[in-house]
Each structure stands twice: as structure tokens, then as C-alpha cells.
């Protein structure tokens, strides 16, 4: 059996992702660059807004995530969101003094892939084992907000409902 690795994080519901996000967008990554920040490597990805559900539709959106490669040095952070240039995703992000970050690490980035020409949202949370405390206070595994691909329009309708939008 091959070794595996993952981060452990609090599993967030779609309602929690929506409530914690300053920005909720359907976006395409158009540029990405890794750099050192405070002795660690981070990757900044510029997102082109396709649709803005929450946030300033005119404001630039550059997602900052831990990890990346600078010259010969690489740093991998399990559970860190990654959007390759050219890829689309539904992104739940929060603005802070350290930049725009995905809510719940990779939980806040839902990849969008096309099947038969139609866009489908795929489960998020790559590289994270999602857990929550049960009634007895023990950590228990939980599923991501969506467990299987879902049509983009259907997913956005759920998000708008959670955000109190129609």
C-alpha cells in the first residue's frame, strides 16, 4: 500500500463556508506565482471573475495559499487550495491582512470541470481529512458539502439560498 498524507481540518458545511466568505465567485485562474513570505513559500493566483455571488465584482481577486515552488525549493502543504492557470473553480474566500485566502483551505475551492460541454462542480477539500466533534466530544469523520459532481447552476442556486440571495 502506498503512503498517504493529509491535513486534518474542521469539516465545514456549505452554510458555514458561505457565512465565513467575503468573496464567493466562479473564477478562472489566469496567473500564478510562488514567492517567499515570512520565511515560507506561498503561491498567489490571480482569478478572473466569471460570476460574482458575493463581493466587489470590480475588485481584483488574488488568492494566496501556503506552498509552492521557488527556484529549486518546494514546499507542499496538504489541504492547501491549488487552482492551475486555465482552470475554473467556485471559490469561497476571506480577505485579511495577509491577503485573500480560501475559507477552510481547499474546502473553499470547488473545481469546475466540463462534461459533455456542461460545467459541473466537484467536491472540495482535496488533501484534508474532514472531522467534527460528535455529541461525546470525539472527533468524527464528516463528508464534504457535496459528495459527488453537481451541475454548476444547481450548486450556485444552493449557494445563493445559503447567502440569502435569490
Q: What is the pLDDT of residues 89-140, one digit of tens each?
A: 999 999 988 889 999 999 999 999 999 999 999 998 888 888 999 899 999 9
Q: Which residues contact 6 (CB under 8 A, 6 or more apart)?
A: 78, 79, 127, 128, 129
Name the pTM for this structure.
0.92
**How confident is the model at residue 5, as a pLDDT?**
65
Look at residue 2 and tell me if it is in a domain.
Answer: no
CATH number at residue 77: 2.40.50
Place of cell 486555465: 86
Look at residue 107 and tell me if it is in a domain.
Answer: yes
Domain count, the chain: 1
Look at residue 71 and tell me if it is in a domain.
Answer: yes
Question: pLDDT tier at 165 (50, 70, 90 boundaries)?
Answer: confident
The full length of the chain comes to 166
> What range does the domain containing 82 cover?
7-162
Kindly report each contact of residues 135-143 with a partner whose C-beta sits within 8 Å and lies 24 or more positions away, as own/partner: 142/11, 143/11
Q: How far is CA 162 from CA 51, 74, 152, 156, in A?
A: 17, 38, 15, 10
Look at residue 1 and tell me if it is in a domain.
Answer: no
What number is the average pLDDT over the span 25-44? 96
Amino acid at each position: 500500500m502506498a503512503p498517504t498524507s493529509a491535513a486534518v481540518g474542521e469539516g465545514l458545511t456549505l452554510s458555514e463556508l458561505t457565512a465565513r466568505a467575503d468573496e464567493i465567485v466562479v473564477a478562472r485562474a489566469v496567473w500564478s506565482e510562488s514567492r517567499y513570505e515570512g520565511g515560507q513559500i506561498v503561491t498567489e493566483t490571480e482569478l478572473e471573475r466569471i460570476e460574482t455571488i458575493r463581493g466587489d465584482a470590480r475588485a481584483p481577486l488574488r488568492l494566496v495559499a501556503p506552498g509552492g515552488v521557488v527556484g529549486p525549493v518546494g514546499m507542499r502543504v496538504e489541504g492547501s487550495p491549488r487552482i492551475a492557470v486555465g482552470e475554473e473553480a467556485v471559490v469561497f474566500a476571506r480577505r485579511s491582512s495577509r491577503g485573500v485566502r480560501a475559507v477552510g483551505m481547499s474546502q473553499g475551492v470547488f473545481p469546475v470541470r466540463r462534461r459533455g460541454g456542461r460545467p459541473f462542480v466537484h467536491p472540495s477539500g482535496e488533501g484534508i481529512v474532514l472531522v467534527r466533534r460528535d455529541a461525546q466530544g470525539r472527533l468524527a469523520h464528516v463528508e464534504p458539502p457535496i459528495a459527488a459532481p453537481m451541475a454548476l447552476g444547481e450548486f450556485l442556486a444552493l449557494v445563493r439560498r445559503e447567502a440569502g440571495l435569490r
